[in-house]
Amino acid sequence: MKKTKVIFDNEKLEFSCELMRALAHPLRLKILEFIDRNEKINVNKIYNTLRIEQSITSQHLRILKLAGVVSADKVGKYMIYNINYDILERAERAVNNFLGKK
């Protein structure tokens, strides 16, 4: 029997792990759905509308931002968040490939 050598790209693996971790939390998914419905939204609207504490909202947005799922622009004193759809599409393709779906 021939052994197969598996080689992982550690940088890609680390990125993938952080991305999946960011997307694996129900509250973060709820925040993403809210941003998606509004295209661009400031953090105050997110936590006030979803009735989440400001500090918790900021923590979840930080995780999403570090994973590249959202980006933030400072406009005046507000942080405006929007979704990086390219990253989400890559994640969807990767999961579908893993599950054997097309």
Length of the chain: 102
Residue 89, Cβ density class (10 Å: 0-12 exposed, 13-18 middle, ≥19 buried): exposed
Q: What is the pTM of this model?
A: 0.83
* Best CATH choice for the domain 26-97 from the list 3.90.660.10, 1.10.10.10, 1.10.3720.10, 1.10.1040.10: 1.10.10.10
Q: Which of 79, 61, 78 is nearest to 70 (CA)?
A: 61
Read off the pLDDT of residues 6-63 as tens digits, 9 standing for 90 and up.
677 788 778 888 888 999 999 999 999 999 999 899 999 999 999 999 999 999 999 9
Contact (Cβ atoms closer than 8 angstroms) between residue 49 and residue 86 = no
